[in-house]
Chains A and B, each alone.
Chain A
Amino acid sequence: MMASADVTTAEPGITTATRPAVTPRKKRGNHTVVGIVAWILGIVFFFPVLWMVLTSFKTEGEAYTNTPHIVFSPTLSQYRTVFASGIWPYVANSAFATVVSTILVLLLATPCAFALSLRPVRKTRDVLFFFISTKMLPVVAAIIPIYIAVRNLHMLDNIFTLVILYTAMNLPIAVWMMRSFFLEVPGELLEAAEMDGARLRRTVTEVILPVVAPGLAATALICCIFAWNEFFFAVTLTATQAATVPVFLVGFISSEGLYFAQLCAAATVATLPVILAGWIAQRQLVRGLSFGAIK
């Protein structure tokens, strides 16, 4: 509210008519400068990832030099060690929890979001805001009863525990996101289907789903990213059988200058699937992160 007041009072700033219009050539020069600055910053921000990947191809000896080596003969030995050290069960657990929870999320969220995108009623808003408010409550305040309940049900260190929790974790995001996609289905399309006397099932499968399919895919990718990266539930509720990839990385926590290259290889393996998924879904990322509020 205050900023809008500022706009109306502080008008004189705009009226500098004496200044000549910017010539096209100067503009092009600006573009080059902007481009160079942006590229430098892009590389600076990307650098830790690049450095992680580079280090993962070094020998431990090369990783421990006072003057970091940019040029070195790459080796796959760190990856061999990581895969031989038993990362596979962790990858399998992560993949299972990610895929199954995402399927469950989509099965639960799609009908829900569809119902919420139909002719809005007052209750719609309440339901939507209930979902989003669950995302805002701190998990740490819920972990104790969850831990005790899971223990009493003998579900500690069980991958299905994570599946259920990840489903609950991603459901609100999916409902909001899917709803924003359903709202984009043109009303004429629905009316035409209704005029044809199509049943709800046919309307959904033949008219709506083709339109929202890209949204469904984007929602799935976002849910996969969050599930794959989740650590808090994994570290508190699993031990050996159901531990996921982030828990595998905990093993490197006290590697006081011993296994940098190997650690980087493990971190690269853990991170790569999500980076690729995120690059693919980057256009939809904003929408997912803002609960569909921003397109």
Chain B
Amino acid sequence: MTAIAPPVATARHMRSPAERRRQGWVRRTPLLPALIFTIIVTQLPFLLTLWYSLESWSLVRPGSQHFVGFANYAEVFQDSQFWTTALNTVVMTVGTVLIAMVIGIGLALLLDRKFIGRGVVRTLLITPFLVMPVASALVWKTVMLDPTYGIVNFLLRPFGIGHFDWLSQFPLGSVMIDMIWQWTPFMMLLVLAGLQSQPKDILEAASTDGARPLAIFRELTLPHLRRYIELGIVLGAIYIVNEFDAIYMMTQGGPGISSANLPFYIYQRAFLGFQVGQAAAMGVVVVIMTIIVATFALRLIFKTFSGTEQAA
């Protein structure tokens, strides 16, 4: 953690303290509307969640609200469904992020080469990311993965898979297929940005020195890409941990809770079970888990950020 503020502002103008305070406010005022708005809309609810998590409160029974301390947390930790959905969340997030990243790296390497119609292929490849998640899930659930009329089973027919019912046999996997399809372009774009920021002269020098392409890739490209891959993984993970749309549309978390992740389970608890306190307690647990991931993310973004800062 190095300080990024270069000492330019201080030496330039020597002003009286009053003048400087005025200057400070001139600079701070434009920040305030956005800052205050964000604090009220995004931070206040988290504090309330913390408070609700210590209460027993059913939305359908008015007046049932009362303080229970950590009882909700005890209940949450004893709830086997909570642990199942927590495990699902990990499997879904890690699986989706890693597979999307591996495919994304492959596609980015292809797009980094010159060929006819590269712009068109790039456009085709980013399209999955732009499809409305709800629409994407619906399309995958029906015309793609339907056991009888879905085109995936039709294409797999020569391989002896005729009427495989993806969504009930393989619910978590089916949701992940949709998510991987949507997130691969994201990873590809980040890695491609990394590849294109590679200093070309070094690569050329290595190539004229007779280095094999594979060696160049392993020794030069991969270390350079590291930062971009890490950024893709943490940013992707932050969004995918919170995945809701695909599960809601494709499986509703079922059969049973086999494809539910924590956000979906919390949603069910709060809006179908009306258990405010328990849902809030689970929310707090998710926040803590997210903070762990986010710490890595912030550190990475900070590194990238100070890198560009120096370049700018």
Chain A positions near chain B (C-beta within 8 angstroms): 3-4, 6-7, 10-11, 13-19, 21, 30-32, 34-35, 37-39, 41-43, 45-46, 48-49, 51-52, 55, 63-68, 108-109, 111-112, 114-116, 118-122, 124-125, 127-149, 164-165, 167-168, 171-172, 175, 180, 183-184, 225, 228-229, 231-232, 235-236, 245-246, 249-250, 252-253, 255, 257, 260, 263-264, 267, 270-271, 274-275, 277-279, 282, 285-286, 289-291, 293-295
11 A-B Cβ contacts within 8 A? A14-B215, A37-B110, A49-B131, A111-B34, A112-B30, A137-B46, A145-B44, A264-B142, A271-B136, A275-B131, A279-B127
- A contact residues around B44 at 8 Å (CB): 145
| Chain A nearest Cβ from B245, distance in angstroms | 5
CB of B46 within 8 A of CB of A225, answer: no
B135 touches A270 (CB 8 A): yes
B34-A108 in contact (CB<8A)? yes
| Pairwise interchain contact A252-B138, C-beta atoms closer than 8 A | yes
Q: Which of A41, A68, A165 interacts with B107 by CB under 8 Å?
A: A41
In angstroms, how far is the closest chain A Cβ from the Cβ of B283? 3
Question: Chain B interface: which size bin?
Answer: 35 or more
Stretch in contact with the other chain, from B35-43, B72-80, B168-176: B35-43
Contact A255 B142, beta carbon cutoff 8 Å? yes
Q: Which residues of B contact A171 (CB under 8 A)?
A: 34, 37-38
Partner of B219, one of A13, A67, A249: A13
Tell me the smallest distance from the CB of A90 to a CB of chain B, in Å.
12
Q: Are A132 and B138 in contact (CB under 8 A)?
A: no
CB within 8 Å of A: which of B138-196?
A: 138-140, 142-144, 146, 148-149, 151, 154, 181, 184-186, 189-190, 192-194
Complex: chain B residue closest to A123, CB-CB? B28
CA distance A127 to B39 in the complex (A): 11
The yes or no answer to B48 lying at the interface (CB within 8 A) is yes
What 3 A-B pairs come out closest when comparing CB atoms? A35-B115, A141-B283, A111-B30
Q: Are A140 and B231 in contact (CB under 8 A)?
A: no
Give A259 to B192 CA distance when docked, in angstroms. Answer: 39
Q: Which of chain B's residues have a CB closer than 8 A to the CB of A274?
A: 130-132
CA–CA, A160 and B25, complex, Å: 31
With A38-B110, A171-B34, A278-B130 as contacts: A137 and B42 at CB distance below 8 Å: yes
A51 to B206, CA, bound (A): 44
Nearest Cβ in chain B — how far from A105, in angstroms? Answer: 9
Do B267 and A236 touch across chains, with their CB atoms under 8 A apart?
A: yes
Q: Closest Cβ of chain A: how far from B223's Cβ, in Å?
A: 5
A138→B131 contact, CB < 8 A: no
**Residue contact B270 to A119, C-beta cutoff 8 Å:** no
Known: A14-B206, A17-B210, A146-B45. A295 touches B124 (CB 8 A): no
Whether the Cβ atoms of A249 and B45 lie closer than 8 Å is no
Identify 18 new A-B residue pairs, CB closer than 8 A, beyond the known A63-B143, A142-B46, A249-B135: A7-B223, A10-B219, A15-B209, A15-B210, A52-B139, A111-B34, A130-B35, A136-B294, A136-B298, A141-B266, A141-B283, A232-B245, A252-B138, A263-B142, A264-B142, A267-B138, A274-B131, A294-B193
Q: Are B219 and A68 in contact (CB under 8 A)?
A: no
State whether A19 touches B223 (Cβ < 8 A).
no
- Is A164 a contact partner of B149 (Cβ separation < 8 A)? no
**Do A168 and B5 touch across chains, with their CB atoms under 8 A apart?**
no
| Residues of chain B within 8 A of A143, CB atoms compared | 45, 267, 270
In angstroms, how far is the closest chain B Cβ from the Cβ of A224? 11
A109 to chain B: which residues have CB within 8 Å?
A: 34
A34 to B212, CA, bound (A): 18
Q: How far is the CA of A138 from the CA of B289 in the complex (A)?
A: 10
- Is B128 on the interface with A (CB-CB < 8 A)? yes
Are A66's CB and B5's CB within 8 A?
no
Cα distance, A143 to B286, chains bound together (Å): 13
Q: Is B132 touching A270 in the complex (CB atoms < 8 A)?
A: yes
Q: Which residue of A lies closest to B192 (CB)?
A: A286
B287 at the interface (CB under 8 A from A): yes
B4 adjacent to A285 (CB under 8 Å): no
Q: Which residue of chain A lies nearest to B276 when distances are taken between CB atoms in the complex?
A: A144
| Known contacts A120-B6, A257-B146: A232-B244 contact under CB 8 Å | yes
| B222 smallest CB distance to A (angstroms) | 7
User: Which of B121, B130, B226 sits near A275, CB closer than 8 Å?
Assistant: B130
Chain B residues 89-146 with CB under 8 Å of chain A are 107, 110-111, 113-118, 120-136, 138-140, 142-144, 146
CA distance A7 to B216 in the complex (A): 11
Does A137 lie within 8 Å of B4, measured CB to CB? no
